Structure 1
Amino acid sequence: MLDINHILVVLDKHDEEQPGLHRACWLANALDADLTLITSAWDSFGDQASQLADTTASSVKQALLRQAQFWLDSLTELDSCKRLRVNTEVHWQKHLHDAAIESARDTEFDLVIKSTQKHGLIDRLFSHTDWNLMRHCPAPVMMVKSSDAWKRNRILASIDATSSDKGHTLINDNILSYAEHLADHFDTDLHIANAYPMVAVALAMVPEVSPPEDIQNYITDQHKEATARWAEKFNVAEDHVHILEGDAEQVVPDVAAEIEADLVVVGTVGREGLSGVLIGNTAEALVDKLSCDVLIIKPKDGVNPDIE
């Protein structure tokens, strides 16, 4: 059975509002989960490669670690945190995502939460913390946009219903398992979104190919049938299933806006290298396009123990 008992909250000292912390405290209180607050501290003068004397470099390092620890301790005194089981960790790491991933590898967290803002190409080229967490963190990652409470009680799960290979089947199952668990716990409506391609547009780019008759109807029916099977497995009402023509990057935000979703659950395969920077992943694009919280699930997150 899926349970969310241990939540890691990744905190950037430069974020004044900390919406991720507020969401984490609310979830931990509702789920009776414990929190671990983590941040990083680093400066070249305190690093081992520093040109300063060892004792001076060590003093710089310890001062920065104490300063970061004091900041984390002040957060635990917030009213929203006082009644919760809260641990804190300060890592000596240049990059915050390295600290978070290191912690997640040492401890089996059920969920990682971080505040997020809109990103551009430069952020991706410079390995932004959010992108690295989404691709490499060994746990589901929730990107939080606002401190506002979930108001509409609606969760939207975005799946690729017709993909039948083992990897996509696993990630669809993980997405819906996690979404179902949250929907059941918070008594919210669970919706499913599935986008399917416009074949006519694709074939129009290859004029020498004559599209078979009714090919679009055939593809549409395939997606409807496949999505219906997933909806039946996870007890999603028929009027909560949204199957639309187009790219997921456009369909999902449109559906989320229409139903006023509080949370969108998506999957990512974490495309690596330059193609990942320039082409991106659907999940990463959705984080920027959606105004609500986004929960990113990877195939190896292991949120569903029933599938190996």
Structure 2
Amino acid sequence: MPKSILVITDLNETNNCSLKKARDIAGPLGTEIDVVRFIKITATEQHDEVSVDKQSKILADSVTEVFANHQPQGSIKSQVVVTDDIVNWVVDYTNEKDFDLVVKAGHRSETLFHTPCDWALIRSLQVPVLIASQQGWRKKHVILAAIDPAAKDDVHRELNHAILEWTKKWGQKFDCSIHLVYSLPVSNILRELDIIDVQEYAREHRIEGEEQLTELLNGYDIPDVKLHVTAGAPERAIPHCANELKAELVIMGSLGRRGLQGMLIGNVAEKVIHHLRTDSLIIASNK
């Protein structure tokens, strides 16, 4: 589990969501917490020192309230940063400080030609990103990890490994129920033309999919894992499975597509997050 966490918080999130999620993760681990809030300006604007001081005081008070019982108190620090490029600042800062995890409250403002900060961070960071929802965790919470046991290329295999490692660590540190889901690929054309029934397809290939998942799990020592095999578009199948399980956290990988490819093709993880109402832990590909 992470030893140091960067928390990105802002005034628009409800009830200090990102701070509370970071606290819940850090509490059992004694993790160092670095909290940042941004004042975004354009390259030609001048920032107001009074506004920075005011935001710094508000942020410090929120951190003190949320982390009142966190020990040691000296392991938490906060800052307000004025910048015209939040994503590049975060990328440079995470590279400099070598964080293990970034926590940020989710925002749902995406359109085809506008990439919100959530997506840009997922595509740019090599550090896992926890996109926090407003949903709280039960005492014994449910986590769902999405993997592809049929992956043939090294990039997807390494993502599988990273996802399972994080799933194992999470299970070791928290009292939770662990589930794995494999979304069988189905041709979009066949699905949209109703040539194939995805539910029937999943039933027919369930045993085969479970065998692939079981084989992939060998060597990870993750106890009491429940396996699920679905079919169809992952951005629909994975959120549906998470909803059925009432999962509090979904863990998945991201290839981090950028530029025009990212806008037009997108990233499966981003499409899945769009339909989730739970926390999402995104593991970036190193390729």
Instruction: Give me the TM-score of the superposition, normalised by structure 1.
Output: 0.80
Which of 33, 36, 59 is 2:34 aligned to?
36
1:69 alignment partner in structure 2:
56
Matching residue's letter, 2:249: L
> Tell me, what secondary structure is at the counterpart of 1:20?
helix
Query: What residue in structure 2 maps to residue 127 of structure 1?
Result: 115
**Is 1:265–2:251 an aligned residue pair?**
yes
Matched residue, 1:158: 146
Percent identical across equivalent pairs?
A: 23
Letter of the structure 2 residue corresponding to residue 179 of structure 1: T
For structure 1, list consecutive stretches of 5 or more residues without a partner in the other structure: 51-56, 208-214, 302-308
* Structure 1 residue 188 corresponds to structure 2 residue 176: yes
Q: What is the identity, as a one-letter code, of the residue corresponding to 1:75?
A: S
CA contact under 8 A between 1:23 and 1:149: conserved in structure 2? no
Whether contact under 8 Å (1:9, 1:20) holds in the other structure is yes
Q: Give the Cα separation in 1 of the matches to 2:29 and 2:282.
A: 19
The one-letter amino acid of 2:239's match is P
SS in 2 for 1:225: helix
CA-CA distance at 1:119 after TM superposition: 3.5
Which of residues 87, 94, 113 in structure 1 aligns to 2:103?
A: 113
Partner SS, residue 167 of structure 2: helix
Aligned partners of 2:16 and 2:109: how far apart in 1?
17
Say if 1:42 and 1:64, in contact at 8 Å, map to a contact too: no
> CA 1:92–1:189 in structure 2 vs 1: closer, same or farther (change >3 Å)?
same
Counterpart residue identity of residue 265, structure 2: I
Instruction: Please say if residues 8 and 37 of structure 1, whose CA atoms lie closer than 8 Å, have aligned partners that are also in contact.
Output: yes
1: CA distance, partners of 2:202 / 2:144: 25
Match 1:280 to one of 258, 266, 270: 266
Report the Cα offset of residue 150 of structure 1: 3.7
Deviation (angstroms), 1:161? 1.1
1:283 match: secondary structure: helix
Say if 2:134 is the partner of 1:146: yes
Distance in 2 between residues matched to 1:220 and 1:162, nearest whole Å: 13
Aligned letter for 1:131?
Answer: W
> What SS does the corresponding residue of 1:183 show, helix, strand or coil?
helix
CA offset digits 1:158-214 (Å, max 9, x no partner)? 011101211111110001101110111102121110011236964998x9xxxxxxx
Letter in 2 for 1:70: K
Distance in 2 of aligned mates of 1:183 and 1:239? 10
Deviation at 1:229, TM superposition (A): 1.1
Aligned equivalent of 2:157 = 169
What is the root-mean-square deviation in Å for CA atoms of aligned residues? 2.9
**Gaps spanning 5+ residues in structure 2: where?**
196-200
- In structure 2, the partner of 1:97 is 87
Preserved contact between residue 18 and residue 147 of structure 1 (Cα < 8 Å)? no
Per the TM alignment, residue 243 of structure 1 is displaced from its structure 2 partner at its CA by 1.3
The equivalent residue for 1:17 is 15
Residue 126 of structure 1 aligns to a residue in which SS?
coil
Aligned partners of 1:187 and 1:221: how far apart in 2?
28
CA contact (8 A) 1:198 1:216 kept: no
Structure 2 counterparts to residues 78-97 of structure 1, below 5 A: 78-81=65-68, 83=70, 84=73, 85-97=75-87
Q: 1:4 to 1:225 in 2, by over 3 A?
A: same
Task: Specify whether residues 196 and 92 from structure 1 end up closer, same or farther in structure 2 by C-alpha distance, changes over 3 A only.
Answer: same
Change (3 A) 1:247 1:233: farther
Report deviation, 1:276. 1.4
Deviations 1:218-273 (A, max 9, x none): 97665443212123333456770111222221221121112211110000101122
Scaled by the length of structure 2, the TM-score of the pair is 0.85
Report if aligned partners of 1:144, 1:293 keep a CA contact under 8 Å in 2: yes
Q: Highest CA radius of gyration, 1 or 2?
A: 1
Cα distance in structure 2, aligned partners of 1:259 and 1:152: 13
